[in-house]
């Protein structure tokens, strides 16, 4: 039983492959009357697009979102919204050498075990290309959240072991790496440049903050807001860890240190990360995603071929040095989708 849908009321189903016609998403459950046009997608698609950031690939996709259904005279109708992003710059040649061997750290091996084949043209369904559809869906989700005053912002907290220390959210867009600490941002760029020259790649940590979220979102006991956010974020390919609020650090605190006091003016601290008992408490929602280094490296690696014989692999082709910062609008999108879904869930019952 496949798993290409996400959400219960604001429900998305993505489709498409990296080297096919394109990628797309059907959103079923977007309320009627919301303004939505092609232009709305431009900013987020651009932030996810390759070729704009330090260390990103030169692949040039225009990534224009076509609205195939569900919008009439500039507004959503309540019918399913189908969005499609055509693949334009598809060049399968560099991947032909990959017909036979599994790339370490990628889904080649497991897709082959599961489906009896794998997409040697660059990952197909498990390529990062799939996340373009998520970003498009996130734009629609954001349209539901905006009139509520809910704002979702993600940024680079750490990259290549360089950590943002002096965080100023207003400086995010000024950094090519969407890092809120300009000094850290510069050092991150240096590390990226150096690592790329060495044919290697880097991981990092993205932090997501949600302001303006009303209390009451999240559905006990399994669809708790933190549980749904964890799934949403972990479903993005490169993510290997999710923390809410104090996260792992909470494991080392005492109850008297970790509990957030409640005052007439709100919570006295926010180690809970804005969620108590799986339900938003009205405070800022804070989560972090640990992002692994991109597995496509320019160094020789040990692997096996389809028959299980040992092989050596050295990748050429176009690859990023880090999934950050391109993963940032993807994580924002997933968080927005969860919040829009839970807002609609809470409204109904």
Within 120-179, which residues bind a copy of itself (CB under 8 A)? 124-126, 130, 158, 161
Does 241 participate in binding a copy of itself (rule CB under 8 A)?
A: yes
Four-CA torsion 54, 57, 61, 67, nearest 10 degrees: -70
Q: Which is nearer to a copy of itself, 43 or 269 (CB)?
A: 269
| 194/172 Cα distance (integer angstroms) | 23
Q: Which is nearer to a copy of itself, 172 or 225 (CB)?
A: 225
| 330/341 Cα distance (integer angstroms) | 17
Does 72 participate in binding a copy of itself (rule CB under 8 A)?
A: yes
CA nearest to 152, candidates 348, 347, 11, 343: 343
Choose, by CB under 8 A, the member of 117, 146, 194, 314 that binds a copy of itself.
117
Q: Which helix (H) or strand (E) holds 141?
A: helix 131-145
Choose, by CB under 8 A, the member of 50, 70, 138, 180 that binds a copy of itself.
70
Does 242 participate in binding a copy of itself (rule CB under 8 A)?
A: yes
Q: Which is nearer to a copy of itself, 72 or 146 (CB)?
A: 72
Phi-psi region of 193 (alpha: psi -120 to 50; beta: other; left: phi over 0): alpha
From the list 42-50, 118-126, 135-143, 167-175, the region that binds a copy of itself by CB under 8 A is 118-126
Residue numbers 4-33 binding a copy of itself by CB under 8 A: 4-6, 8-11, 13-17, 20-24, 26, 28-29, 31-33
| 189/322 Cα distance (integer angstroms) | 11
From the list 45-53, 91-99, 114-122, 170-178, the region that binds a copy of itself by CB under 8 A is 114-122
From the list 92-100, 171-179, 181-189, 264-272, the region that binds a copy of itself by CB under 8 A is 264-272
Q: Are 36 and 71 in contact (CB under 8 A)?
A: yes
| 23/254 Cα distance (integer angstroms) | 47
Residue numbers 275-304 binding a copy of itself by CB under 8 A: 275-282, 290-297, 299, 301-304
């Amino acid at each position: 039983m496949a798993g290409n849908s996400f959400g219960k009321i604001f429900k998305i189903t993505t489709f498409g492959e990296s080297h096919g016609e394109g990628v797309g998403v059907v959103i079923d459950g977007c309320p009627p009357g919301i303004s939505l046009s092609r232009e709305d997608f431009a900013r987020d698609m651009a932030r996810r697009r390759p070729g704009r950031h330090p260390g990103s690939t030169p692949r040039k996709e225009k990534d224009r979102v076509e609205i195939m259904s569900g919008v009439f005279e500039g507004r959503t109708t309540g019918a399913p919204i189908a969005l499609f992003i055509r693949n334009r710059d598809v060049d399968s040649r560099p991947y032909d050498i990959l017909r036979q061997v599994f790339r370490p750290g990628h889904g080649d091996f497991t897709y082959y075990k599961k489906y009896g084949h794998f997409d040697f043209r660059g990952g197909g369904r498990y390529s990062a290309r799939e996340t373009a559809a998520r970003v498009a869906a996130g734009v629609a989700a954001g349209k539901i959240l905006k009139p509520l005053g809910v704002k979702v912002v993600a940024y680079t907290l750490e990259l290549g072991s360089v950590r943002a220390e002096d965080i100023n959210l207003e400086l995010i867009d000024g950094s090519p790496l969407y890092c809120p600490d300009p000094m850290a941002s510069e050092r991150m760029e240096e590390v990226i440049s150096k690592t790329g020259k060495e044919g290697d790649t880097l991981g990092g940590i993205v932090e997501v903050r949600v302001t303006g979220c009303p209390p009451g979102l999240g559905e006990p006991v399994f669809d708790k807001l933190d549980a749904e956010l964890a799934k949403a974020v972990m479903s993005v390919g490169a993510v290997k860890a999710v923390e809410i609020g104090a996260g792992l650090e909470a494991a080392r605190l005492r109850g008297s240190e970790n509990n957030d006091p409640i005052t007439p003016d709100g919570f006295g601290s926010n180690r809970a990360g804005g969620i108590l008992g799986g339900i938003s408490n009205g405070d800022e929602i804070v989560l972090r995603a640990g992002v692994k280094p991109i597995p496509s490296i320019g160094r020789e690696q040990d692997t096996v071929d389809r028959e299980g014989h040992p092989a050596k692999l050295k990748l050429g082709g176009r690859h990023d040095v880090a999934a950050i910062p391109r993963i940032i609008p993807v994580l924002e999108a997933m968080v927005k989708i969860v919040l829009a879904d839970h807002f609609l869930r809470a409204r109904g019952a």
